Structure 1
């Protein structure tokens, strides 16, 4: 143990943002390779389950959307001959999904699962080099597995938000804007990543780049459909999204209704949550050059997009739980973080693993939306830490490991 500790530099042991395993450690001490194997095998097994033994309805929805786009059909109408449920993603996503619609079902699903698993694996190791990254990969594994079993895009969305953050840390505005824009046209959640740019210079330039990419991606389906047909698709998308606004899912609005009987529209709570999200950024301009503060904002955004989204569902929590895990393992430990992480893992296990009787899930866990409770606790704890940090006048001026600090300016 002494030799192992000695292989880590003194600076790395003191700075939780820079803890990393020394490259000369023996292979047996590198569990990230085992985790990579676990992620790959899990993608293969889920493909066998959802693509060979059974064909996932969600994946049929995605594939059918691409077919319907090329056939000039309404993407958002019911297509019972193709699948159950409705398509709720953008027309652009239907076009981008073309490679997965062209391949045979099982092979396409394998490629989709590998894309989700490996991009999240890569993003977390880039965000948290060394041991913290390995810990994060292990802790979010169950949520990644659940998302893959639902053949959802949530791991991909999580990775896009993290990679946008890392691009901003390196001053690569085009890359950051591309990840946010691309993620937004997969699922709207990454749009909240715009808040991450507020801590960086040349914000107006970033806004213009993002707007340009958004327009380009919105118009991308014009390569296969006419302008009138594309406009009709966007009207149908807006209509189906508007019809869904009465839902609460696993959002904070649902908890306010269950706990306090607050039968409010969703938008006032979402507006209040957004104000709470950005308030520490407005108050803590002196902290913008602090890498720990910026990463704390990332954690807050990852939880926020699930907690305040009325469409949140069980498979969505890989996004929020990743934010909680990064907050807990990527910064200085505390009893509060340990308690919240323990609560998160407990809820994750009882929800995702068949270790409790089915009646417990059907009568307690699902009706009472237990899976979102750790997110409520964690988000307000993260916000409290952000406010406390923002109100300190001094700035550390640090950079994340592997990044160069940007020149601060307007």
Structure 2
């Protein structure tokens, strides 16, 4: 019994050194590996956002310095600017570790116990490693959404708006933080904060480029996102690593080539909004956390731009849900299955045949998150969150 307790999840979560080692260590190892094989293409894309803004070049064209195209807004040029003055390899390491630290800080701000926070970090460390291998901004987007939630609960609405707008002006996703509006006790201040930061972030890139060019950048960004959305629908032409979403899952499982994503997206929006009929519980921490989990999952599941590294936004929601539950075999079995499919379906844990013929072509990574989101929506409507222990941290 002592040995069993020593290696329980609670025991592992209590080991602060282990949590930090896995959180930063796995990501450091993977970024060093990517650097060693010269696979830092995404960072080169980011770096050139700043360079192209400064030189008044279109941000959304193909350039010989890297593969793929940029899909981030012109405001991102200011975020990435400090890194462009470092050697690329060093910049990649610093970029990844700072993103890890940012998400760590965001999780630490959640009104949960230290043990619950540690378990979330421990269970999410492998997903973080996967996101870090791509050097993407998704880790910071997850941090922005979680921070906006925590800051609104703390009454710091102006700064919650700050993080919402950072996410929105870089990758659109951050705008989902507005879903926490009803938890605000200072709604006019929150709205004013959104407007203030929106104007500020719109104008700030004009420090390094002309106003006319920046305005044109926003127009080009809108068009680039439209093109990318159209491309994400072309999974039948071999683009199997895009659209790992609820729409992509349904398209692939049922082989629906001519499929309108709105047939899934709109019911998803209606179901999501239906959770607000229980706003009489808006001051209940358990209800608030369920909405947070729903927002994190919805953001990824109902975006045709979702890729494997995007799931660093969704996976913490599964972990938050899990630490809120009473211990039980059903919850444990459900989470273990979700954990394995979400994090390891495309890894060597499963057979090459499964990865090649099931996990990748059918976007199986989206399945546990979709099931979890449906469970959360059902639990909200059944008011299952009221049966949880009160969140007191």
Does the residue aligned with 1:284 lie in a helix, a strand or coil? Answer: helix
1:204 is aligned to 2:225: no
Who is 2:237 aligned against?
none
Does the residue aligned with 1:293 lie in a helix, a strand or coil? Answer: helix
Q: Is the 8 A contact 1:221 1:230 kept in 2?
A: yes
Who is 1:356 aligned against?
350
Among 334, 338, 348, which residue is 2:332 paired with?
338
Q: 1:135-284 residue pairs with structure 2 within 5 A?
A: 135-246=119-230, 247-248=232-233, 249-260=243-254, 263-281=258-276, 283-284=277-278
Q: Distance in 1 between matches of 2:212 and 2:68?
A: 26
CA 273–169 in structure 1, closer or farther in 2 if over 3 Å, else same: same
Q: Distance in 2 between matches of 1:159 and 1:336?
A: 30
Q: 1:280-291 residue pairs with structure 2 within 5 A?
A: 280-281=275-276, 283-291=277-285
Q: Identify which range, 309-318 or 383-392, moves more after superposition.
A: 383-392
Q: 1:45-194 residue pairs with structure 2 within 5 A?
A: 45-79=29-63, 81-127=64-110, 128-194=112-178
Deviation at 1:336, TM superposition (A): 4.9
Q: Distance in 2 between matches of 1:149 and 1:108?
A: 14
Q: Is the 8 A contact 2:155 2:186 kept in 1?
A: no
| Alignment root-mean-square deviation, CA | 2.6
Q: Is the 8 A contact 2:157 2:184 kept in 1?
A: no
Q: Distance in 2 between matches of 1:29 and 1:237?
A: 42
Does the residue aligned with 1:250 lie in a helix, a strand or coil? Answer: coil
Q: Is the 8 A contact 2:127 2:312 kept in 1?
A: yes
TM-score, scaled to structure 1:
0.84
CA 308–29 in structure 1, closer or farther in 2 if over 3 Å, else same: closer
Does the residue aligned with 2:26 lie in a helix, a strand or coil? Answer: helix
The number of equivalent residue pairs is 374
CA 259–49 in structure 1, closer or farther in 2 if over 3 Å, else same: closer
Deviation at 1:261, TM superposition (A): 5.5
Q: Distance in 2 between matches of 1:358 and 1:104?
A: 37
Q: Distance in 2 between matches of 1:187 and 1:94?
A: 12
Does the residue aligned with 2:383 lie in a helix, a strand or coil? Answer: helix
Q: Distance in 1 between matches of 2:326 and 2:172?
A: 32
Q: Distance in 2 between matches of 1:267 and 1:218?
A: 30
Query: What are structure 1's unaligned runs of at least 5 residues?
Result: 6-19, 22-27, 402-410
Q: 1:294-373 residue pairs with structure 2 within 5 A?
A: 294-333=288-327, 336-351=330-345, 353-373=347-367
CA 288–349 in structure 1, closer or farther in 2 if over 3 Å, else same: closer
Deviation at 1:102, TM superposition (A): 1.6
Q: Is the 8 A contact 1:280 1:390 kept in 2?
A: no
Q: Is the 8 A contact 1:119 1:156 kept in 2?
A: yes
Who is 1:43 aligned against?
27
Q: Is the 8 A contact 2:148 2:160 kept in 1?
A: yes
Does the residue aligned with 1:356 lie in a helix, a strand or coil? Answer: coil
Q: Is the 8 A contact 2:285 2:391 kept in 1?
A: yes
CA 166–59 in structure 1, closer or farther in 2 if over 3 Å, else same: same
Deviation at 1:335, TM superposition (A): 5.1
